[in-house]
Amino acid sequence: FLIVCAISGSYSYILQHPQGVVEEYNPLDFDEPTYMVPVLMPRQRVRRQTVFGGITPGNPAGVQGTVGARGTLFDNNGHRVDGHGSISRNWHPNGPTTIGGGLDYTGPRGSASVTAQHMHHLGTTLGAEAKANIYRSPNGMTSLDAQGAYQRHFGGPFGASKPDYRVGLGLTHRF
């Protein structure tokens, strides 16, 4: 494995209209905390990674720009780990930068995922979900699955929220 560190930035610019209105575009505010995180990268990619992004004008929150990536980190004998991450920002009106990411595991008898999303000055939301097959009939027509989830928000103007726990059982029979 290789350890790769990456950081990016951009410059701000000022746009002046003939009517005397001045607009300042600052895609990344360096007064906000900037994070540099080491990422483990395999020497050979398992699958092609996907980079996505775009600018969405005209929504009620103004103009939103998003860029992110997702890809398979590990895939072997029915066990697969996928990762994803994104960063977005609103302009007009200016909004906080949102950074998020997560890992998803899929196996022969279940799946699990963990996610985190941080919004500057508004806190961080952490979540985890899991699903496991408890029983499957020999003919595959009946199965019993268990699900569980956890979510909690930390920080921000209202402090930490109460944890949100969910559990469930699902019985499926195909006729």
Q: State pLDDT tens for residues 21-37.
A: 545 444 444 444 444 44
Rounded to whole angstroms, how far apart are CA atoms 95 and 62?
9
3-state secondary structure (DSSP) of residue 145: strand
The CA–CA distances, whole Å, from 48 to 2, 51, 81, 121 equal 17, 10, 14, 35
Does residue 93 have a cis bond before it (omega within 30 degrees)? yes
Mean pLDDT across 42-66: 67
Structure confidence by residue, pLDDT tens digits, 128-146: 999 999 999 999 899 999 9
Query: Distance from first CA to last CA of the chain, Å, rounded?
Result: 48
Percentage of the chain with pLDDT > 70? 69
pLDDT at 40 over 60: no
Neighbours of 66 (CB within 10 A): 14
Q: What is the pLDDT of residues 72-88, one digit of tens each?
A: 999 999 999 999 999 98
- Is residue 119 within 8 Å of residue 113, measured between CB atoms? no
CA 166 to chain centre: 20
Q: What is the pLDDT of residue 2?
A: 39
- For the purposes of burial, counting CB atoms within 10 Å of the CB of 28, is it exposed (0-12), middle (13-18) or buried (19 or more)? middle
pLDDT of residue 49: 66
